[in-house]
Structure 1
Amino acid sequence: MSIRDLAAETDTGLTTVRRRLQSLLASRASLRCDLARPLSGWPMSAVYFASVPGQYLDETSRVLADVREVRSCSITAGPNNLMIDVWLRTLADVHAFEAHLSRRLPRLHIQDRSVVLRTVKHMGRLLDQDGHCVGVVPLGHSRVDGTATPMWS
């Protein structure tokens, strides 16, 4: 979205939006762009449920951040303290990628994996069979009374 559109959408002055955006970009924030995965050359998705001893979580997550297939890595509580979401080129890459991780991170133990054959919603967008946006599901959060409200209103 353009800065002008962002200013209109947020009911904020153009100069303020430009200044805030420049400040954000100068910080350690990183931006990402999503596109229809079939067009990206990475149509397959898999989620790995893994564990690593607690003292190696930071080191492991730093290494995973530099692996191009990794889209996100979450540190969680429980026996599987890492959840790693990856994009792959083919179904055969599921095990090849797992082997690659095992060689690169010998302390990482993959306990389970889930292959995503078709994504129907991503980042609040409904997707067709080709991965193109065909609708939007607004993200929301719950109020104290239990009713949902849009995150952006």
Structure 2
Amino acid sequence: MMRAWMLPILFVLCGSVVSAGMLLRGSAGEAGVVLLMFVLLAGVNSPLIFPRSISAQEAQRRSAVDGRPVVFWRAGCTYCLRLRLRLGRAARRLHWVDIWRDPDGAAVVRAANQGDETVPTVLVAGRPHVNPDAAWVRGQLTSSP
């Protein structure tokens, strides 16, 4: 759990240090802007921007029932963030599994990627797709029942 928050915490700490230095030099306005930028970076790279993660077992069970894809991701992954942002509201309809929180999810990703934990890996009808295009994933949502 803590591993997913390391990058956002680092952003906030760095922003605080830089802002404190600017405050000491008398640039209060600039310090506020810099701190705000670092806090926004932390928010974008945090697990909060992603829909709630569930276990790999639960995601695969739900996918078997409703036909929606399962997305395996991890916090701090630029490609996962890009997929999430490009999916927009449609992302809420997918089943998301954080591989840093779920060892079974990490095992599924390693099995699909010859031992590598390459994310995002999207499971559609039992077939893995590594770093797919968001438009393709959205299309899989429209074709699911």
Q: Give the structure-1-normalised TM-score.
A: 0.23
Higher helix share: 2
Higher relative contact order (CA closer than 8 Å, sequence separation 6+): 2
Higher strand share: 1
Q: Give the structure-2-normalised TM-score.
A: 0.24
